[in-house]
Amino acid sequence: MPVSDVPPAIESVLVLEDNFLIALDMEEMLVSLGVTSVHVATTKAKAMELIVEQRLDFAILDINLGDDTSFAVADALMTRGVRFGFTSGYGELLALPSHLRDVPRIDKPFSEGTLSSLIATAANPRDV
């Protein structure tokens, strides 16, 4: 069993990923890393519902959602004080709004180790 870098306080995670197979893969990785509750959303609307309905410790947001982005979801999470990280299939090509440029991000495809590192990095309080 791999050693988890996921902080013990991270028990409930929102995954926003429009590709269902990637979302299921991510859910499996998170459970393997010790996350006890994974809430999967394949649309921005569903993610916004889950933010209101669930107690979340962390979120992983795919930046590009087809014709849309997850930036509004990121803003809603920031308002609620929920830390998050981004995933992207576009590498450095995607421009982020200025207030989201410092949010940790990993590129697809990713491994359990890079996912764990994303959570560990993004979950630690940032110096302001």
pLDDT of residue 98: 92
pLDDT of residue 91: 63
Q: For 58, phi and psi rounded to 5 degrees? A: -165, 160
Q: For 28, phi and psi rounded to 5 degrees? A: -60, -45
What are the structural domain ranges in the chain? 14-114
Mean of all residue pLDDT scores within the chain: 89
Give pLDDT tens digits for 83-126. Answer: 999 999 876 556 789 999 999 999 999 999 999 999 988 887 55
Contact 85, 121 (CB under 8 A): yes
For the purposes of burial, counting CB atoms within 10 Å of the CB of 90, is it exposed (0-12), middle (13-18) or buried (19 or more)?
Answer: exposed
CATH fold label, 14-114? Rossmann fold (3.40.50)
13 token code pair: 């995670």
Contact 74, 85 (CB under 8 A): no
Give mean pLDDT, residues 59-88.
95
